[in-house]
Amino acid sequence: MPSLFDHFQDLEDPRWDRYKLHTFSGLLFITICATICGADGWEDIEPFAHAKQDWLKRYLELPNGLPSDDTFRRVISRINPEAFEACFRRWIAQVVEHTQGELISIDGKTLRGSYDHTDDKAALCMVSAWASTNRLILAQEQVSDKSNEITAIPELLSTLEISGCIVTIDAMGTQRQIARQIIDQGGDYVLALKSNHPTL
């Protein structure tokens, strides 16, 4: 089994025993692999699993074949998101090869298609930390509807080990408190300046 499973052992399977046709670890593994490979939704995960079935059998027990897209949706959508995030961050922390001078780029993006027309809810905005050497996102923090990136960035930084790293942030995050936090955590920074700091 890939080391990924070591970090997800504490994650609770939301199903009752009599409904477990597929292993929980298998559902997680296929979902994560499919997402990394570009799957955008449940309907993309099942075709991915069929296309990679021979490869998946090298790592997984598939006693009842491959799950359907409905099975992926039912099980994964019932997982506690905070618990999943904690497990995922532990896995990423192990995968990342930490190097002195690593460049970590902090940036905020609005998620395409996240605006809820039915309930008139604003589009979801996330602040992400991208590790350039490892070419992956280390962590993400949701921007509150009643706030902005300036409040989300410190929370994101507090989850990261940035000692010896260079952190880059665009003009939105160019704030004294954020610069101080990066220094206090042992990192260096490159911050963009625009007209929001006319006297600096």
Asked if residue 28 is part of any domain, the answer here is yes
Asked if residue 198 is part of any domain, the answer here is no
Find, among 170, 154, 150, the residue nearest to 162 by Cα.
154
What's the rounded mean pLDDT across residues 113-118? 56
Do 117 and 138 belong together in one domain? yes
Look up the domain containing 146 and give its range. 98-191
Calculate what percentage of the chain has a pLDDT beyond 70.
Answer: 86
CA distance 115 to 112: 8
Amino acid at 87: C
Which of 71, 93, 115 is the last residue in one of the domains?
A: 93
Q: Is the pLDDT of residue 8 over 50?
A: yes
Do 63 and 108 belong together in one domain? no
Which of 93, 113, 128 is the last residue in one of the domains?
A: 93
| Beta-bridge partner residues of 9 | none
Q: What interhelical angle do 69-76 and 42-51 show, nearest 10?
A: 120
pLDDT tens for each residue of 14-67 = 988 887 899 998 999 999 999 888 888 889 999 999 999 999 999 898 889 999
Q: Range with the lowest mean pLDDT among 39-43, 123-127, 162-166?
A: 123-127
Which of 75, 93, 111 is the last residue in one of the domains?
A: 93
Q: What is the pTM for the complete model shown?
A: 0.61
Contact 42, 75 (CB under 8 A): no
Asked if residue 44 is part of any domain, the answer here is yes
